[in-house]
Amino acid sequence: IKTPIVILNFKTYLESSGSKALNLAKALESVSDETGISMIAAVQTVDINRIVEETNIPILAQSIDAISPGGHTGSNLIENFIENGISGTLINHSENRLTLADIDVIVKSTNEKNLLSVVCTNNVSTSMAAAVLNPSFVAVEPPELIGSGISVSQAEPEVVEGTVLNVSNANKDVKVLCGAGISTGDDMKAALDLGAEGVLLASGIILAENPKTALLDLVSKI
């Protein structure tokens, strides 16, 4: 996938659920078409199929369970996500943390199936550990800044810089994204200047009065 990239994590906001999720995904699609910048949506499981059918942007799952086919009531199977058209998945978001062993299982199975894997981490050392598992991306997000409106790339640049340096030492094939509090063009530019290859964000766009305008602002300084 061409970098820089923007991954919008739809989480479970009402503003990014159901028919509103589809509208938001269409806004991402139109900004991607207009600017040529890769826009990806990480949507709730129940919204995946409809958004895959009605847009042309890559769609990620927000989480995949480390299970094999069989008796796992309430879980979601990777083979079924693939049949429903996902291009990859977030793994280990701070709002949905997994064990190291489960992260390893899921990264391995996404690699086998040629899917994008975005392992979310909370600091520099967990980012290095995640890089060794060989995902497509590590996305570092200090938990205290998530949903705060205070951008990691401006408030804690050393976290982004330290992650870029240490991830590349640990595994040069892994790209770094950053997230938490990112919403403006200046936030995104600061992230790229620090060596990140894109951003993972949510509330700054999802809760904006006009998400499409907010997305255009986000990529205006690249």
Give 206's contacts (C-beta < 8 A, 6+ positions apart).
8, 10, 11, 13, 15, 16, 24
Residue whose CB is less far from ligand G3P, 4 or 67: 4
CA dihedral (51, 184, 128, 96) positive or negative: negative
Which residue, 22 or 182, is less far from ligand G3P as judged by CB? Answer: 182
Window of 20-28, 99-107, 141-149, 170-178 that interacts with ligand G3P by CB under 6 A: 141-149
Closest CA to 12 of 56, 55, 39, 45: 45
**Contact with ligand G3P (CB under 6 A) among 141, 156, 161, 197:** 141
176: tokens are: 């770094």
The residue from 1, 82, 144, 147 that contacts ligand G3P (CB under 6 A) is: 147
Site string for ligand G3P, 163-202 (x = CB under 6 A): ----------------xxxx-----------------xxx
What distance in Å separates the CA atoms of residue 104 and residue 130, rounded to the nearest whole number? 9
Q: How far is the CB of 42 from ligand G3P (least distance, A)?
A: 7
Minimum separation from the CB atom of position 176 to ligand G3P (A): 14
Task: Point out the catalytic residue in the list 93, 156, 161, 197.
Answer: 93
Binding status of residue 142 toward ligand G3P by CB under 6 A: no
* Spatial separation of the C-alpha atoms in residues 123 and 142, rounded to whole Å: 6
One of 34, 54, 112, 141 is an active-site residue; which one?
A: 141
In whole angstroms, how close is the CB of 121 to ligand G3P at the nearest point? 11
Long-range contacts of 199-202 (CB under 8 A, 24+ apart): 199/4, 199/5, 199/6, 199/7, 199/153, 200/7, 200/9, 200/90, 200/118, 200/120, 200/139, 200/141, 201/6, 201/7, 201/8, 201/9, 202/8, 202/9, 202/10, 202/11, 202/13, 202/146, 202/147
Closest to ligand G3P by CB, 179 vs 198, is 179
Tell me whether residue 24 or residue 201 sits nearer to ligand G3P (CB atom). 201
Q: Does 88 bind ligand G3P (CB under 6 A)?
A: no
**141 part of the active site:** yes
Catalytically active residues are 93, 141
Q: Contact positions toward ligand G3P, by CB under 6 A?
A: 9, 93, 141, 146-147, 179-182, 200-204
